[in-house]
Structure 1
Amino acid sequence: LGDIVVTARRREESLQKVPVAVTAITSDMLTQRSIRSAADLANSTPGLQMQPGLEGRQAARFYIRGQGVGFGNAPPSVVTYFSEVPLDPNGGATFALNDVALVQVLRGPQGTLFGRNANGGAVVIAPKAPGQTTEGFAELSYGNYNYIDIKGGVTLPISSTLSARFSGTLTRRDGYTRNLSGKDFDNLHSSSWRVFLRWQPSDSFTDDLIYAGQRTKSNGLGTIIVAARPGTPAITAYPLPGLPLVVGTGLGNDLISQRAYGPRLINEPATYFGESSKIDLFTNTATLKLGGATIKNITGVELITACPSLPVTSTQTNFFVSTCFDNYLNVNAGLKVHPTTEQKQITNETNISGETADGRFDWIAGAFFLWSDPKGRLGTFRSTRAAKSLFVANVSSALQKDRSQAVYVQGTYEIAPGLKLTAGGRYTWDQRTLQFGQLASSANGAPGTFVCASPGLAANTPAATCVNIFRKSFSDYGYTFNLDWQAADRLLLYVSTRRGYKSGGFNSTSTSAAPLYNPELLEDVELGAKWRWGSGSVNGTLNLAYFHGWYDQIQQQLSVVVNNQATVITTNAGGANIDGVEVEANGNFGNLNVAVNYAYFSGRYNDCPANPAASKCFLDSGIDVTKSKFVSAPKNSLGVTARYTIPIGDTEAIVPQINYYTRSTTAFAADNVLNYESFAPGYQVVNARLEWQDVMGRKGLSLSGFINNLFDRDYVQSGIGLGGLIGTTSFIYGEPRTYGATLNWQF
């Protein structure tokens, strides 16, 4: 329970003295709590959720306070930052957790300092920086399902002014969803590396240059069919090309078989599903101190290629195809399918900060720029997806181009001893461009039957020019006002109000000649308290936050049928209100440490008016679905971690640890009034770890064993809810019991 230093307000402050709802997880805590992936962060952070979905596990994204991102190109409500650079949302949330100094989870709208689109919050990852001492670590883990994980990092001083840190990880694991007709699903195959150079020629200037890379691939995730509604297309089979259509078989029989198989066995013969990604990230941060001011320039260049695809149901019946890997659909259309995302993102932020000589006023002002372009020239059809649903096959082209500029300023003034006022504002200008084109076949994708199906274009339009280009500019402001009072030496009280803005855009699965959705706005009020208690070997912290938010034009996902095709779009759901309470407690009781996090969430859309035609609320075919629950926002979630240290020598110790996590029922489809099956049941999961520190008195050497999902519960993480659309609902299950051992050497 040392004093953790955070940068939640873009300057160094004590966690217990910063008036912001933020969770800080240090490098040691990542190891102690067995946090190996971004999904594991949810067990230690109140209100944080991870949801895999239509784009697969590699594109899993964070949800905080009921806000995240769904299918398509909608901007994320929770932005991931690495070394102060915002990452592209396609896989950004699961990137770069190796060799980390600190992870900060900021909850609530970041209206000023992390302001672009971050209405839900921000996850800020700080990598370990090189110093002037040679040191490092090596780690090897092995477990069931042939799990192997190799990590390492080392700092090498090159000169008195230049040092470097090299780190990397390699992970492999067999799939835990066994496939009777092909490769097992839910396997792991990833590699990542990082080079961090720090040049400090003087006390007043530092330059940090980082290159980080990652490569991942897998066979895809298992989507376990749990419901197929009678009277829907789900009960009619899709045959393979050239075979007659058979009615009354297909998914109905597959559902019966799947219930007999259980959640860890599938029968998926198709070979064109899977996931692959390539990420290369370059960042440079230059910091110059001039008297009482500090000037910082942060540049990021990210190259990302991602190809996530999956069956809506992992079944024998080839019912719903959505893939960016070559298959019979794009072959029959005479086209090659490219990765769904091939994007280059460049960002630059310049800020200046400082404080007055008496320390009563500190301030920061800056400007931000983002430039994101796809591979492929706009105006030319470049296939990015092949799909088939409701007996209409299609090959589509969706390319996204973004520009964003913003300026911001924020200051904190001590108006009386212990009483501070913070005020800040940000203005953002966004320009978004979408190219969408589609070739469709109503003959089950047979060769020679694909015609142009882009809105407003004739069916005989040549494939090369069968595209529409949509452009729109958006702009708005955000603000932060905060009053905090150091009521006692160990007690901080605060109240905040903020306004967040999230850009509008276009749907990458076009539904009309102008598939526009509008910006989303959020205003909130937050009350918080941070208390440090106790002394000696009995001490701890208790942090509380209550929030209420008012959304306008909230962006949500909607399942619709367009031109006989099932698809998911982003739409504006009108207004919504949210309330919640978050609790973080951490206590030492001699050799026992207990950490608890709890979140309560309540969200509701505004009721529809009497005239639905004039409504801006969340509608589907004129049906009021404003009683829908927020996606990935359980009403209650709780995580508890207990560690007990048993000394057996001067430095040796045995440390048993238990982690318990539970959450209540959680929606995974936004329009869950129509898709009433699309709820993941609540679950409980227990993880255990036993560590031997400084093995046989060898300082820095530790051996540990771990068991995750100790009781081998079959729990549902997420799912694909299309019951009201095509008749199917599938569950995505969490990992079964996994176990293994880890050898770690710190030197």
Structure 2
Amino acid sequence: MKYIYKASACAFALSAMCAAPVYAQDQSAEAAAEDIDSGNVIVVRAQGREQELADVPVAISAVSADDLQKSGATDIRELNQLAPSLLVSSTGNEANGSARIRGIGTVGDNPGLESSVAVFIDGVYRSRSGNALGEIGPIDRVEILRGPQGTLGGRNSSAGLISIYTAPPEFTFSGYGAFTYGNFDHIRAEGGINAPIGDTIAARLDGVYVRRDGFYTDVTNGTDVNNKDRYLVRGQLLFEPSSDLTVRLVGDYSKKDEACCAATFVQPDFAPFARVSPGLNGFIKPVGPSPALTSTQNPIIPVLLALGQDPRALSQSTFDRKIYPTQGRSYEGETEDYGVSVEVNYNLGAVDFTSITGYREYSNNQGSDTDYTGVDILYRAPGDNAGARAFKTFTQEFRFQGTAFDDRLDWLVGVFYANEKLRVRDNIRFGSQYGSFAPCRIINAVNPALASPTDTGCLSAGGKALLSGQLPGTMPAFGAATPLLLAGLDNLGGLNDLGTVEDRYGQDSESFAIFTHNIIEITDGLDLTLGLRYTKETKDFSASFTNDNTVCPTNRALLSNLLAVPSLAPLAGGLIALSCQGNSTSELNGVSISDDRDESEFTGTAILSYKVTPDLLVYGSYSRGYKAGGFNLDRSALSNPLLLDVTNLNTANLQFGQETVNAFEIGAKYSTPEFTFGISAFRQEFTNFQLNTFNGSVFLVQNVNSCGTGLGGADLDTSAATGSCAPGDVQPGVVAQGVELEATMSPVDYFNVAVGLTYSDTSYENDLIGNDSGAPLDPALRLLPGDNLSNAPELTATASLSYTPPLGNSGLSGLFYLNARATSDYNTGSDLLFGKEQDGYFLVNGRIGIRGPEEKWAIEGWVQNLFDKDYTQVAFNTPFVASQQTYSAFLAEPRTYGITVRGRF
């Protein structure tokens, strides 16, 4: 099947304006067919049918293979430069990539949460957007749909959809190859061959190999991190026995053996003094300068230094890209991804039938120095159980489409089925120095001057004598409970290299949906689109634990009685919490739990569109989207460690509810071959918004709503018990609203310009609550009410320029290409702590080259991040150090550059 792009339209590298209609609906079928054959239109499948992009009244960007080649994009993260409303980032693991559209996306590293932005490759759903991070090889086009997709698109998605179509086989013999060399010893080799096998079968084979040194230097272990070492092989068969039947078989395999993902301490060059609050309290906005996060005035820093932290890690720039982890700890990991799909398109006469069948397996494991410091506090040993996740996914979609009433009704009905088996394994353990570090957090709370990190319990003999009242003129600091508390400190000091031996989680999901999508021509130029979908979802959860942390039950038994004494409860509770952090306890050893959940939801869309003139379309739409609920695959959510009862574990604490969104949009699009312009305004209201937050110790998965009745600031305090709401008064907790502007111009031959601007106020409502039952918001989220979501800049602008003039009469042509993306300030942390704010920045990529006759060969020089702009993807609470307001950050890539040589026949 053919997907043909007009050259002037395809030169835009970013803009959804290519979605603007170009031709009037009353254009004759003969003329339309002639335009398609001559390459004057773009064909997409955004509405489950092959349609001219000009006739699709939805918010969509279509990016061609030529655009991606010019921009240098080789995976979905690099689509950021091509679409202003899209942001794709990755954090602590290659498998944890998150895509956001209009500021909405799934946050964090928990595979139990599905993606707000679904990713499909050749019509087959990828279980999480992170599963699509990697080389995509030669493609035909990428479609980016903005807003909830609640009718078509296979799997439901609440924020948008990215659909990638790989280059299909053709009935001509051809081949290609490309070789790239760049800085960081970057090597990329790509090649493929296409061949007809008789008159009815065509075959295609493509391969990509990439190797690159890491952006971080591990000074401690003498290696580099965040490197690339990966390959992709994809084979295809196309069977066309007649004009009515097409069968396409696609199989692919990819693998990565890479070290990922390092982080550096946040320093004033990222979080200036004015952003760090007085008293090192990250929940209070500052009124003046205060110490750097890694200053020795921060009481946790002398502890880290005393235990062996390399001081260079605390004094270098955030962006020096040198890390000083624990000796012997590694970020090595492995990712394997493979699958097969079959797409059948059969014209049955009055009805067109489509079947898309897919089966995929994906696995990833990643070792880590999980505390990101030179002190051995927390780690995952590389191997099969290192934060591993594995997906086995089967999907099947059937669609039937036809017309009725003299073609005034274009109808479509279909069913979709997905079966996903998710397995998670983990081996996270307290390090060999956790018992030296953790007691110092308690002592710092009592009196930092008493901290002696190299002594048991973080107390010297003199310090113990002082607190126990053994020095002349002193009394026991905590009365009769002093011996118990000191014994608890000593016990905590023995918590070294203990914790998880192996935890296993399983989640089996089944999703069944039936849907219909119909376009009704009311009058010439006036169309009404109606779509409806019913989805039934079931999930079965199980988990089993193997754990050797005996310090937790020992200190729980020793200190639990002190929790009833108000003056002693904070110290006793702190000791128990640090001994049982994340519900790591031998009490769970050999324990298994299970649960299940069922849910169903109606979603759909209604669009009224009118072709005012052959070049101008106006439309208004309503859509309802949905993202399934599920289970938090993290034992820390079972309960508060102070209240854990292994004889009565409450698996309900692991559940989070389904997320729904109601979206409204109006827009106008003007399009001619030389100029396009579009404007749209949108509002999206999210109920039960799913948020995953790391609070420095554990991951919190929380549904977020708001209360129709004012809470009087009870959602802003430090209490987990205040700020509840009557269930009948629950309202959406997140609203995204804004305006998108796009324009493209092709004023003269060979010259194309595109610009895009997105204003999106994507923010939490005031008076927030935790779920749709009206439960209070977790106090770790008390900065959220009324503020913008993380990684959701209000303003984003993109632009591209492409010039490809002929060079004399030789048949040669030149290439000059630039694209740029600028964003306003935004916070990168999902808890919105002030030290995680990223200043606005401006990124520029460029490519220049010379191409042979008919582009049979090319030599191109390129640069990404031309001005070497330093910025972060996410800043986060440094694990176990966060209570002292020390942050770390996953950095974005620095400037890269190189040369590419390509050829084809």
TM bin, normalised by shorter chain, reads: 0.7 to 0.9
Q: Deviations over 1:452-491 (max 9, x none)?
A: 9899999556x4x322112111111101000011111011
Q: Deviations over 1:270-325 (max 9, x none)?
A: 4332332000111011222111211111111101111135445543223443x362
Match among 752, 757, 762 for residue 593 of structure 1? 752
Who is 1:426 aligned against? 533
1:199 aligned to 2:216? no
Per the TM alignment, residue 84 of structure 1 is displaced from its structure 2 partner at its CA by 0.7
SS in 2 for 1:30: helix
Per the TM alignment, residue 623 of structure 1 is displaced from its structure 2 partner at its CA by 4.1
Who is 1:307 aligned against? 365
1:215 aligned to 2:255? yes
Distance in 2 (CA, whole Å) between partners of 1:719 and 1:425 is: 40
Structure 2 contact 423–507 (Cα < 8 Å) conserved: no
Who is 2:734 aligned against? 576
Alignment of 1:227-626 (within 5 A): 249=306, 254=311, 257-259=314-316, 262-268=319-325, 269-312=327-370, 314-321=372-379, 323=380, 325-326=382-383, 337=385, 340-356=388-404, 358-374=406-422, 383=426, 385-386=428-429, 391=438, 394-395=499-500, 396-440=503-547, 459-460=586-587, 463=589, 465-510=590-635, 511-512=637-638, 513=650, 514=652, 515-533=654-672, 539-560=674-695, 566-574=697-705, 575-590=733-748, 591-608=750-767, 615-616=774-775, 618-620=777-779, 623=782, 625-626=784-785
Amino acid at match of 2:341: T
Distance in 2 (CA, whole Å) between partners of 1:592 and 1:602 is: 34
Distance in 2 (CA, whole Å) between partners of 1:668 and 1:437 is: 34
339-348 or 145-154: which moved more? 339-348
Match among 143, 146, 157 for residue 118 of structure 1? 157
Amino acid at match of 1:419: L
1:14 aligned to 2:52? yes
SS in 1 for 2:225: coil
Are the structure 2 counterparts of residues 196 and 726 from structure 1 closer, same or farther at C-alpha, using a change threshold of 3 Å?
Answer: farther
**Which residues of structure 2 form unaligned runs of 5+?**
1-8, 10-39, 268-275, 283-292, 439-494, 557-578, 639-649, 706-732
TM-score (norm 2): 0.73
SS in 2 for 1:91: helix
Who is 2:559 aligned against? none
Match among 870, 874, 893 for residue 714 of structure 1? 870
Distance in 2 (CA, whole Å) between partners of 1:615 and 1:426 is: 28
Distance in 2 (CA, whole Å) between partners of 1:97 and 1:104 is: 14
Q: Deviations over 1:619-642 (max 9, x none)?
A: 326946323421221111111111
Distance in 2 (CA, whole Å) between partners of 1:627 and 1:311 is: 35
Who is 1:46 aligned against? 84
Structure 1 contact 703–744 (Cα < 8 Å) conserved: yes
Structure 1 contact 713–737 (Cα < 8 Å) conserved: yes
Distance in 1 (CA, whole Å) between partners of 2:215 and 2:542 is: 38
Amino acid at match of 1:129: P
Who is 2:185 aligned against? 146
Q: Deviations over 1:499-553 (max 9, x none)?
A: 11111111111312221111111001011222114x6xxx122232211011111
Are the structure 2 counterparts of residues 324 and 209 from structure 1 closer, same or farther at C-alpha, using a change threshold of 3 Å?
Answer: farther
Per the TM alignment, residue 577 of structure 1 is displaced from its structure 2 partner at its CA by 1.4
Q: Deviations over 1:358-397 (max 9, x none)?
A: 3221111111111112459xxxxx6465566885753232
Amino acid at match of 1:266: I
Structure 1 contact 613–622 (Cα < 8 Å) conserved: no
SS in 1 for 2:392: strand
Distance in 2 (CA, whole Å) between partners of 1:224 and 1:530 is: 45
Are the structure 2 counterparts of residues 684 and 90 from structure 1 closer, same or farther at C-alpha, using a change threshold of 3 Å?
Answer: closer
733-742 or 388-397: which moved more? 388-397
Distance in 1 (CA, whole Å) between partners of 2:49 and 2:883 is: 49
**Which residues of structure 1 form unaligned runs of 5+?**
239-244, 327-335, 377-381
293-302 or 597-606: which moved more? 597-606
Structure 1 contact 116–501 (Cα < 8 Å) conserved: no
SS in 2 for 1:184: strand
More strand by share: 1
Per the TM alignment, residue 253 of structure 1 is displaced from its structure 2 partner at its CA by 6.5
Match among 653, 658, 677 for residue 818 of structure 2? 658
SS in 2 for 1:633: coil
Distance in 1 (CA, whole Å) between partners of 2:842 and 2:525 is: 42
SS in 2 for 1:355: strand
Are the structure 2 counterparts of residues 173 and 523 from structure 1 closer, same or farther at C-alpha, using a change threshold of 3 Å?
Answer: same
1:745 aligned to 2:884? no
Amino acid at match of 2:744: N
Q: State the percentage of identical aligned residues.
A: 24
1:703 aligned to 2:859? yes
Per the TM alignment, residue 740 of structure 1 is displaced from its structure 2 partner at its CA by 0.7
731-740 or 277-286: which moved more? 731-740
Structure 1 contact 312–720 (Cα < 8 Å) conserved: no
Amino acid at match of 1:700: K
Q: Mark the structure with the bigger radius of gyration.
A: 2
Per the TM alignment, residue 648 of structure 1 is displaced from its structure 2 partner at its CA by 1.0
Per the TM alignment, residue 19 of structure 1 is displaced from its structure 2 partner at its CA by 0.4
Per the TM alignment, residue 593 of structure 1 is displaced from its structure 2 partner at its CA by 1.2
1:173 aligned to 2:212? yes
550-559 or 19-28: which moved more? 550-559
Per the TM alignment, residue 560 of structure 1 is displaced from its structure 2 partner at its CA by 4.6
Are the structure 2 counterparts of residues 516 and 387 from structure 1 closer, same or farther at C-alpha, using a change threshold of 3 Å?
Answer: farther
Who is 1:185 aligned against? 225
Distance in 2 (CA, whole Å) between partners of 1:199 and 1:436 is: 45
Are the structure 2 counterparts of residues 487 and 401 from structure 1 closer, same or farther at C-alpha, using a change threshold of 3 Å?
Answer: same
Per the TM alignment, residue 6 of structure 1 is displaced from its structure 2 partner at its CA by 1.1
More helix by share: 2
Amino acid at match of 1:107: R
Structure 1 contact 596–641 (Cα < 8 Å) conserved: yes
Who is 1:130 aligned against? 169
Who is 1:329 aligned against? none
Q: Deviations over 1:426-454 (max 9, x none)?
A: 111111122234445657899xx9xx989
Distance in 1 (CA, whole Å) between partners of 2:423 and 2:771 is: 41
Who is 1:736 aligned against? 894
Distance in 2 (CA, whole Å) between partners of 1:41 and 1:251 is: 42
Who is 2:486 aligned against? none
SS in 1 for 2:132: helix
Distance in 2 (CA, whole Å) between partners of 1:361 and 1:610 is: 45
Match among 195, 206, 225 for residue 156 of structure 1? 195
TM-score (norm 1): 0.88
Are the structure 2 counterparts of residues 130 and 620 from structure 1 closer, same or farther at C-alpha, using a change threshold of 3 Å?
Answer: same
Who is 1:241 aligned against? none
Are the structure 2 counterparts of residues 419 and 708 from structure 1 closer, same or farther at C-alpha, using a change threshold of 3 Å?
Answer: same
Per the TM alignment, residue 667 of structure 1 is displaced from its structure 2 partner at its CA by 2.5
